[in-house]
Chains A and B, each alone.
Chain A
Amino acid sequence: MEVPILKQGEVLIATFQAALSDADLNLLRMGLVQQVVKFRSRAVIVDVTAMDVMDSFASRTLREIAHMIRLRGAETVIVGIQPEVAFAMVQLGLTLEGVATALDLEEGLAYLIQKFKNID
């Protein structure tokens, strides 16, 4: 299943679909980093609004994506985690530590704009 990746200026937006297999996640990990390199993006927003479950593999993949993208000097923000998913995640100890999060796409963009303003 292809994950659509849109470019919005210096930000890439990847929108996860509801059911992503482990293979999809692996492809996505490489794909996103390649896109960051290609477009010299400063940030990636991963929108998981459509995900109604988040297992440990998906959670670990997200963290790895964020780490790899940081090695390219770019920021990752995970947005759209649903309340029920968030609750289930913390009960399993999946806290996405070290990765920025925001309520939704709008908040994620606002966060990045603020951050870039402070840096530049």
Chain B
Amino acid sequence: MSKRENTSKDSLGPSEAPSELLRELVAHLRQNRTQLREEWVVRITETRLLTAMTKEEIFAEATSVYDSYVEALETEAFEALQAYARNLSERIIPRGVETHEVVGIVLLLRDVLARSLFAKYQTDFKKLNRILDAYEPAANRIANTVAVGFVQERERVIRQQQEAIRELSTPVLQVRERLLILPIIGVIDPQRARQLTEQLLRGIRTNRAKVVVIDITGVAAMDVTVANHLVQTVEASRLLGATVIVTGLSPEIAQTLVTIGVDLGKMNTVGDLQGGIEQAERLLGYKVVTLAEPR
């Protein structure tokens, strides 16, 4: 029930309870559904919102949003509304709809419905005030709930994408017996560095690798924390009996490693990936021989 106290002090005529007022205005909004919804869609188009959607799509969504809005006013079931908002967001975010558009259309609906209440109760100012006392908190709560639901959905999508990127970008590849390659591309944060190390160590054990080439050509920069992680990865790999060759160090990263005082005698580095693989093959006792001219 509406928690606002009835603030009108005059006692002219019986004061309806807020719940009764709410029922009355919900009935009005339902009765005039078609016309109010149409008015709302016109306002949406005028304000140039939801430009990513077609008129038919806007109309379809508007219908379900309108009905959910009125239902939320009636039942005050805001959790259900939030679930609806997240569901709606899941549908329209891939269409390119932005947060300001969603908040915008909900506020427009609030305004359209408020105006219709002004029109209906314009002859009874006191009643209009009481009706608005019931309407406004609920309407504001709805706007809030929808906006929060939308943002939560966006954040969920972002987290999902981040996770997918993390998984995609740390493959441990076996290119020869006992030889693994770990090409690292992009930005490494401490969490990703940790994941890389764990994945590599498991890969060394599973593939019984004796040499690992970690290529960081695709890594632009590395802070001191991550550089330390790299050194630890090399040391941990050695504990599992594998030699690590690091290739593709950019000048910036080389500078970082020198700055943190990495004993470069302990770190096996080669200029590029090709050189790294060639050295790994030598370590493993492979020899590459050309048998014939390439066809």
Which A residues have a C-beta under 8 Å from some C-beta of B? 78-79, 81-83, 86-87, 89-91, 95-96, 101-104, 107-108, 111
Interface centre among B197, B198, B237, B238 (most CB of A within 10 A): B238
**A81: B residues at CB distance < 8 A:** 239-240
* B-side interface size class: 10 to 19
Chain A, Cβ-Cβ closest to B242: A103
Complex CA–CA separation, A111 to B242 (angstroms): 12
Q: Verify if B141 is at the interface (C-beta below 8 Å from A).
A: no
Contact (Cβ within 8 A) B232 A101: no
Interface centre among B198, B202, B208, B235 (most CB of A within 10 A): B235
Contact (Cβ within 8 A) B241 A90: no
Q: Which residue from A91, A95, A103, A111 sits with its C-beta under 8 Å from B240?
A: A103
Contact with A along B175-216 (1 / 0, CB 8 A): 000000000000000000000011001101100101000000
A-B Cβ contacts below 8 A, count: 52
Contact with A along B226-248 (1 / 0, CB 8 A): 00000011011111111000000
Complex CA–CA separation, A47 to B229 (angstroms): 27
**A82: B residues at CB distance < 8 A:** 205
Contact (Cβ within 8 A) B238 A101: yes
Q: Which residue from B197, B201, B233, B241 sits with its C-beta under 8 Å from A101?
A: B241
Which B residues have a C-beta under 8 Å from some C-beta of A? 197-198, 201-202, 204-205, 208, 210, 232-233, 235-242
Complex CA–CA separation, A83 to B237 (angstroms): 8
5 more A-B residue pairs beyond the given contacts A87-B232, A101-B241, with a C-beta to C-beta distance below 8 A: A86-B201, A90-B232, A101-B239, A103-B204, A104-B241
Listed A/B pairs (28) with beta-carbon separation below 8 Å: A78-B239, A81-B239, A81-B240, A83-B198, A83-B204, A83-B205, A86-B236, A86-B237, A87-B197, A87-B232, A87-B236, A90-B233, A90-B236, A90-B239, A91-B232, A95-B235, A95-B239, A96-B239, A101-B238, A101-B239, A101-B241, A102-B241, A103-B205, A103-B208, A103-B210, A103-B241, A108-B241, A111-B241
- Nearest chain A CB to B113 CB, angstrom units: 60
